[in-house]
Amino acid sequence: MTSSIHPVLIIFIGAILVALLKGKWKGLVSVLTPILGLINLISIDRANPDSYVMTMSLMELDLVVAKFDKLGMMFAYLFHFAAIITSIYSLHVRDNMQKYTGLLYAGSAIGAVLAGDLITLFVFWELLAITSVFQIFAKRTKGSSSAGIRYLLMHIFSGLLLLTGSAIIYNATKSLEFRDLDLTSVGPWLIFMAFGIKCGFPLLHTWLTDSYPQATCAGTVYLCCFTTKTAVYAMCRAFPGTEILIYIGAAMAIFPIFYAVIENDLRRTLAFSMINQIGFMMVGIGLGTDTAMNGAVAHAFNDVFFKGLLFMGMGAVLYRTGTINGSQLGGLYKSMPWTTGLTIIGALAISGFPLMCAFVSKSMIMVEAAKAGHTGIWLILLFAAAGVLHHAGIKIPFFAFFAHDSGIRTREAPVSMLIAMGISALACIIIGSFPNQTLYLLLPFGSPENFYQPYDATHVITQLQILFFSVAAFVVLMITKLYPPETPSVNLDFDWTWRKGGKLFYMGADRLLNVTNDKAHRFFIINFIGWIGQFTKSAPSRILVMFMTPIWKVRGLEENALKKKQQSFYEDARLGAFPIGRTAIFAVILLGLLYVL
Amino acid sequence: MKSPSDTDNSSNPDLEGVVLLKDDGKKYLWDNPLNVKKFIKGFFLVCLVLFLFDFLFLFDVIHKHLSFKEGEFPYEGWVGFYCAYVFVSCAMIVVVAKELRKVLMREEDYYDK
Q: Where are the domains of chain B?
A: 27-64
CA dist A119 and A385 (Å) reads 38
Residues 6+ apart with CB under 8 A from A397: A313, A340, A343, A344, A347
CB contacts, 8 Å: B100 with chain A: 258-259, 262, 491
**Residues A371, B67: C-beta atoms closer than 8 Å:** yes
Query: Terminal CA-to-CA distance of chain A, rounded, Å?
Result: 90
What integer best gives the mean pLDDT of chain A? Answer: 88
Lowest mean pLDDT among A120-124, A180-184, A512-516, B60-64: B60-64
Q: How far is B80 from chain A (nearest CA, A)?
A: 9
pLDDT of A430: 94
**Residues A261, B97: C-beta atoms closer than 8 Å:** yes
Burial (CB count <10 Å: 0-12, 13-18, 19+), residue A541: middle
Q: With 70 as the cut, is the pLDDT of residue A91 above it?
A: yes
pLDDT of B107: 73
**Residues A382, B89: C-beta atoms closer than 8 Å:** yes
Query: Terminal CA-to-CA distance of chain B, rounded, Å?
Result: 21
Tell me, rounded to whole angstroms, the distance of Cα A295 from its chain centroid: 23
CA dist A157 and A153 (Å) reads 6
SS3 A423: helix
pLDDT of A418: 94
CA dist A210 and A214 (Å) reads 7
Lowest mean pLDDT among A101-115, A189-203, A403-417: A403-417
DSSP codes of every residue in A548-596: HHHHHHHTT--HHHHHHHHHHHHHHHHHT---HHHHHHHHHHHHHHHHH
Per DSSP, helices labelled H in A90-243 are 96-114, 118-137, 142-173, 186-199, 206-211, 217-238
* Residue closest to A110 by CA, chosen among A84, A89, A130, A128: A128
CB contacts, 8 Å: A499 with chain B: 111
Q: How far is B3 from chain A (nearest CA, A)?
A: 7
* Residue closest to A103 by CA, chosen among A116, A121, A90: A90
Alpha carbon of A492 to those of A24, B106, B113: distances in Å?
Answer: 44, 7, 14
Which has the higher per-residue pLDDT, A347 or B70? A347
**Residues B9, A142: C-beta atoms closer than 8 Å:** yes
**Residues A141, B16: C-beta atoms closer than 8 Å:** no
Residues 6+ apart with CB under 8 A from B18: A319, A320, A321, A322, A410
Highest mean pLDDT among A2-11, A229-238, B87-96: A229-238
**Please, which pLDDT band fits residue A3 given cuts at 50, 70 and 90?**
low
**Residues B17, A257: C-beta atoms closer than 8 Å:** no
CB contacts, 8 Å: B12 with chain A: 139-141
Q: What are the backbone dihedrals phi and psi of residue A56, each rounded to the nearest 5 degrees, phi first? A: -155, 145
* Residue closest to A247 by CA, chosen among A199, A286, A209, A302: A286
* Residue closest to A101 by CA, chosen among A78, A133, A149, A126: A133
Alpha carbon of A175 to those of A61, A71, A170, A283: distances in Å?
Answer: 10, 21, 5, 29
CA dist A92 and A417 (Å) reads 8
pLDDT of A2: 55
pLDDT of A45: 86
- ipTM, two decimals, is 0.84
List, for residues A408-430, the tens digit of each pLDDT value. 888 889 999 999 999 999 999 99
Q: How far is B34 from chain A (nearest CA, A)?
A: 15
Which has the higher per-residue pLDDT, A122 or A264? A122
Lowest mean pLDDT among A94-103, A257-266, A533-542: A533-542
Q: Which residues pair with A61 in a beta bridge?
A: A58
Query: Domain residue spans in chain A?
Result: 1-239, 241-486, 499-596
Q: With 80 as the cut, is the pLDDT of residue A378 above it?
A: yes
* Alpha-carbon dihedral sign for residues A543, A549, A552, A558: positive
